[in-house]
Amino acid sequence: MADKTDNEYRQVRISKLDRLREAGQNPYPERFERSHMLADARLLDDDVQGVTVAGRIMTARIMGKLSFITLQDVSGRCQISIRQDDVGPETYKIVKKLVDIGDFIGIAGEMYTTKTGEKTVRAKGFSFLGKTLRPLPEKWQGVQDQEVLYRQRYLDVIMNPESMDRFKLRSNLIRIMRRYLEDQAFMEVETPVLAPKASGAAAKPFTSHHNALDMEVFLRIAPETYLKRCIVGGFDRVFEFARCFRNEGMDPSHLQDFTMLEYYCAYWNYEDNMNFTQKLIQHVLTELFGSLEVEIGGEKIDFSGEWPRVSFRELILKDCDIDIEAFRDADSLRAEISSKGITLEDVEKMGRGNLIDQLYKKVSRPQMTGPVFLTKHPVDLSPLARRNDDEESVSDRFQLVIRGWEVVNAYSELVDPLDQRARLESQAALKASGDDDAMDMDEDYLLAMEHGMPPISGWGMGIDRFCALITNQSNLRDVVLFPLMRPND
RNA sequence: GGGGGCAUAGCUCAGUCGGUAGAGCAACUCCCUUUUAAGGAGUGGGUCGAAGGUUCAAGUCCUUCUGCCCUCACCA
């Protein structure tokens, strides 16, 4: 790792700092006025005067009295040239002797096209804008070491334009979603990250201790119950980009620290919400890609038209010929699964809902490619979802599955406070009997519910997952700028 | 947690059967007014991830450890 402070490069560059100051150049000046981003400068006609650009030096071709330098900024790259005859021998000597690849410089000058056809800014004035003490990675191969790419992400995005583009896309994605929701009268709110209870999902929380209050606090595992309190309070449509934390295993599709977008809409049911989801995602993809066909993992996925809606029951019946409605308790279902020759891990401990979920993950989910709305989950997998009025064993719930990834989870919310109390009591009983993932009793949330809720449909999307999916990344860390790494010093 | 893989100069990588540590880029000293992976001449740069072991001799073989990647399990 680059933690040595005594290497040749650093010593040489520190000595250049002093020489820059002696030559009258501040190595770290306070500002610079740009007229154009580099990508925009390249579009200018020849002979345009008064162009001022700045950026990081990526490559340099230094000659005796004329140099070509490629600068990079967030917009892209542009070549500049510096001629001794234009800037004078003192300044040209600085360029030759004291400027390194990786440094920031700014120039003022005019546009021209070189005889090899490259748009170039010819420097009439030169400003030193920032000294680097470390060399950039190799200009052609860049950084290959996955560990360095994660630990020193700045090097990744400096050297790899596709990586920079991916993070730009993530930013665009979030902006487009935020605007779309705002345009549909949703209001962005912020709810607690640090709370006395980890509620709203089944997951192991991170814990901490609040000194002044002398109490245990939890990092949120979901914003759900607070956003629903907002609905109780009269905000009809709310959303939050909620950083959530779950103290569970890490692998390419799970991070302990991730971003969920959740929204809640009063007076909608889950079917309204499916309609809206389809419009939202079609809008986002059109804005991002100008197309509803996205290539993911080597196959083109078509997001246009109406997406199929299939219930758990229909799906499982189709994929393994088991009608889950015919098996109303865990034991009979377990027997049926094993009689079909399907093996699932740890079936003995599972309730009926979990059995169905595991069965689905085994026989159905891996082969689901295009966008599919999976609906009507077993009610005991959905402690916060509304029970279906016609079938009491299922919930008014859907997930959006794309290429085997559950990207969206949404339902008609349970707004009956007595039903909610009963379901949380059974969750708490599961937890007391050793199920760490079951939910806690949440009296504070029940108190809010008892003050009355309208019909609500809520919705959550794993932003990291969606982003990884549409940027064709298989590891969520590739869409997170600074993933958590074990320190290695 | 199980299994597999990787770790050599600032970066990208070679390193044969165990026998003096290599290249390109980058850096340093020069030359160079149209380059664009600029070119030419020269120079310096290594705790081979760490610690043990085997051996006359270890970057190389063995053990342990650390970090990272993949995979299985777990986990909405």
Question: Each residue of A114-149: pLDDT tens digit?
Answer: 999 999 999 999 999 999 999 999 999 999 999 999
| Cα A485 from Cα A282, distance rounded (Å) | 35
Instruction: Evaluate if residue A2 carries a pLDDT over 50.
Output: no
Report the Cα A379 to chain-centroid distance in Å.
30
The CA-based angle A143-A144-A147, given to 5 degrees, is: 95
Span CA (A481) to C1' (B8), Å: 29
What fold is seen in the domain A2-136?
Answer: OB fold (Dihydrolipoamide Acetyltransferase, E2P) (2.40.50)
The nucleotide minimizing the C1' distance to residue A357's CA is: B76
- Torsion angle defined by CA atoms of residues A74, A80, A82 and A87, in that order, rounded to the nearest 10 degrees: -60
The nucleotide minimizing the C1' distance to residue A204's CA is: B75
Span CA (A463) to C1' (B75), Å: 18
- pLDDT tens figures, A260-279: 999 999 999 999 999 999 99
Instruction: Find the distance separating the first CA and the last CA of chain A, reported in whole Å.
Output: 9
3-class SS at A445? helix
| Cα A83 from Cα A138, distance rounded (Å) | 26
The nucleotide minimizing the C1' distance to residue A4's CA is: B10
Closest to A200 measured CA to CA, from A215, A183, A222:
A222
Q: Give the pLDDT band (50/70/90) at residue A328.
A: confident
- pLDDT tens figures, A345-404: 777 767 787 788 888 888 888 888 889 999 999 887 888 889 999 998 899 999 999 988
Reported ipTM: 0.92
pLDDT of residue A1: 35
Report the Cα A287 to chain-centroid distance in Å.
17
The nucleotide minimizing the C1' distance to residue A483's CA is: B68
Instruction: Evaluate if residue A480 carries a pLDDT over 70.
Output: yes
The correct answer on CATH 3.30.930.10 for the domain covering A159-308+370-479 is yes
pLDDT of residue A287: 97
Q: Give the pLDDT band (50/70/90) at residue A100.
A: very high
C1' of nucleotide B49: residue with nearest CA: A1
Location of structure tokens 């990675």: A137
Span CA (A1) to C1' (B66), Å: 13
C1' of nucleotide B13: residue with nearest CA: A141
Answer yes or no: are the C-beta atoms of A14 and A7 closer than 8 Å: no
Answer yes or no: are the C-beta atoms of A407 and A285 closer than 8 Å: no
Give me the amino acid identity at A464. D
Q: Give the pLDDT band (50/70/90) at residue A302.
A: very high
Closest to A205 measured CA to CA, from A248, A241, A258:
A248
C1' of nucleotide B26: residue with nearest CA: A138
Answer yes or no: are the C-beta atoms of A26 and A128 closer than 8 Å: yes
Instruction: Evaluate if residue A18 carries a pLDDT over 70.
Output: yes
* CATH 2.40.50.140 domain extents, chain A: 2-136
Mean pLDDT score across all residues of chain A:
92
Chain B bases having any atom below 7 Å from a protein CB: 1, 10-13, 24-29, 31-38, 44-45, 66-76
The nucleotide minimizing the C1' distance to residue A478's CA is: B69
Span CA (A237) to C1' (B20), Å: 75
Span CA (A13) to C1' (B25), Å: 18
- pLDDT tens figures, A107-116: 999 999 999 9
* CATH 3.30.930.10 domain extents, chain A: 159-308+370-479
The nucleotide minimizing the C1' distance to residue A134's CA is: B10
Span CA (A134) to C1' (B38), Å: 23
Location of structure tokens 């490559």: A59
Instruction: Evaluate if residue A182 carries a pLDDT over 60.
Output: yes
